[in-house]
Amino acid sequence: MSTAKILDETDFDTELATGKPVMVDFYADWCAPCQVLAPSVEKIAELYDGRASVGKLNVDASGPVAARFGIQGIPTVLFFKDGKLVDRVVGLVPETELTRRLDSLIE
């Protein structure tokens, strides 16, 4: 069973360099909408194991990474392909919206 990888400043860029599409949930422990989204992120990590990388980055613990991507509201989910930012979703969205966007990067 795969779970979302907890990312920080030291391993964020390494994760982007894996060659797989990457989905990263930018969150904070105190953020209620982030807590609602968390089970969906974990489920997506399990469903896409081997096809995509799914990670979580705590904006309080890794502020420089959040600043680098202009994260102003959370939850924000960023999608990367070939190490480059290609899509973003801000706010609480249905799991199907996240999987739709991730599918578009895999196909």
Give catalytic residues, as residue numbers: 31, 34
3-state secondary structure of 7: strand
